[in-house]
Chains A and B, each alone.
Chain A
Amino acid sequence: MTDEEIHARRAKNNKMLGLVLVGFVVIVFGITIVKMTKGHNMEAFDHVRRPALEVTQ
C-alpha cells in the first residue's frame, strides 16, 4: 500500500469518526432540549395507577 493510499484511507476513517462525533453531540443536545421543554417524567405505567407520577395542574 502506497503512502497516498494510506493517507486516503485515514482521511476517510477520520471523516467517518468526525460524523459520528457530530451525531453524538446533536443527540445529547436534542435530549437536553426535549427534556428541558417537556420536563415530564417518563415513568408512569406499570399496571397500577401511580398518583405520585401524575402531573397536577
Chain B
Amino acid sequence: MTDTSASATHTASDFGDVVSLLKPRVMSLVVFTAAVGLIVAPVSVHPFLGFCAILFIGLGAGASGALNMWWDADIDAIMKRTQSRPVPAGKVTAHNAMLVGLWMSVLSVAMLGLAANWFAAAFLAFTIFFYAVIYSMWLKRSTPQNIVIGGAAGAFPPMVGWAAATGGVSIEAWGMFMLIFMWTPPHFWALALFMNDDYTKAGVPMLTVTHGRRTTRKHIMVYTVLLTPFCIGLGFTSIGGPVYFLASLILSVMFLRGAYGLYTRAEETAEADKYIAERRVFKFSLFYLFILFAALLVEEVMRNLSIGLENWPVVI
C-alpha cells in the first residue's frame, strides 16, 4: 500500500518545472528572431495580432523543447549540462513531458493559424516536426552532421515570423534563415569543444567525439568563412542598410578572428586554460546573432522614420 500523501509529492509537478520543460532560454532567442522577422516584413500587422503571433511561435518552440526532453531523458541524465532538467531530475515524468509537448504543439499551431494565417501555422508545425523528429529522434544520435542539418529548426523562426506578417516567404526571409543556419555549426561546435566529455559519456556523435577536436576546429573555421557572405549579403536586401552592413562587417571580422584563434590553438594550451578561448567564442557567437538581428530592427525603424540612405544598393 502506498501512502497517498507521499505518492502525491512524488508525482505532482510544480508549475515552474513545467515552464522549464519549455527551455525558456532557447525560447527567448526564438521569440526575438521571430519578432524581428515579423517586424521587418513589408506588411504592417496589427500590434495585438503581432504580439499573439510571436507568443504562439514562442510556445511552439517551447513545445518542441518539451518533446526533446521527453525523447532525450536518457542521455540528459548522463550529461552534466542537462542533468538538472526536469525529467532527469525526477520533477516531471517523461510521459507528462510528452503530453505537454504534444498538446502545446497543437495549441500553438492552431492559435497561430487563427491569429495570423494558416501558411505560417503549417510552417510552425513543420518546424516543430523538424526539431522533435528529424533532429532529436533521428539525426542527433546518428550522425556528426546532426547540428548542421538540425540547425534548420532554429533557423526557421524568423521565416515563420515573416510568414505570419506576409502570408509567404521571400528572399529576405531566406536570407535570415541562412544567417542562423550557417551560424549554428560554429556556435555548437565551440560548445562541443569544451563539453566534449559530456557528449562522449552519453554517446552522442558530435563532431568532437567522432572526428576529434582538431577536425572540429577546422570545421569551425570553414563554416565561419562560409557564414560571412550570408551575413554581409543580407545587408544588401530590402531589409538591410548601412547600419546592418557596418554591424555585419565588424562582427564578421571579430567572429573570423575568434574562429582562426580556435583553429590555430594547440590542444594542450586549451586544456591548460580550461578552454577559455572556446568559451569566449561560444559566448561571442550568441552576441553576434543578437546584434545582427537588432541591427535589422534598427534599419526598420530608420526606414519608418525615413532617415536611411535613400540610394542604398539593394542588390538581391
> Per DSSP, are chain B's interface residues mostly helix, strand or loop, or mixed?
helix
With A6-B9, A46-B166 known as contacts, the answer to whether A34 contacts B49 (CB < 8 A) is yes
Closest to B171 in A: A47
Are A31 and B45 in contact, with the CB atoms below 8 A?
no
Which range holds the interface residue count of chain B? 20 to 34
How many whole Å from B193's CB to the nearest CB in chain A? 39
> Per DSSP, are chain A's interface residues mostly helix, strand or loop, or mixed?
helix
Cβ < 8 Å to A, chain B residues 1-23? 5, 8-9, 12, 14-15
How many whole Å from B161's CB to the nearest CB in chain A? 13
Closest to A15 in B: B15
The answer to the question of B48 belonging to the interface, with a C-beta cut-off of 8 Å to chain A, is: yes
How many whole Å from A17's CB to the nearest CB in chain B? 7
Closest to A1 in B: B9
How many whole Å from A3's CB to the nearest CB in chain B? 6
Are A44 and B166 in contact, with the CB atoms below 8 A?
yes
Could you list which residues of chain B lie within 8 angstroms of chain A, going by C-beta atoms? 5, 8-9, 12, 14-15, 41-43, 45-46, 48-49, 52, 55, 111, 114-117, 119, 164-171
Could you list which residues of chain A lie within 8 angstroms of chain B, going by C-beta atoms? 1, 3, 6, 9-10, 12-13, 16-17, 27, 30-31, 34-35, 38, 42-47
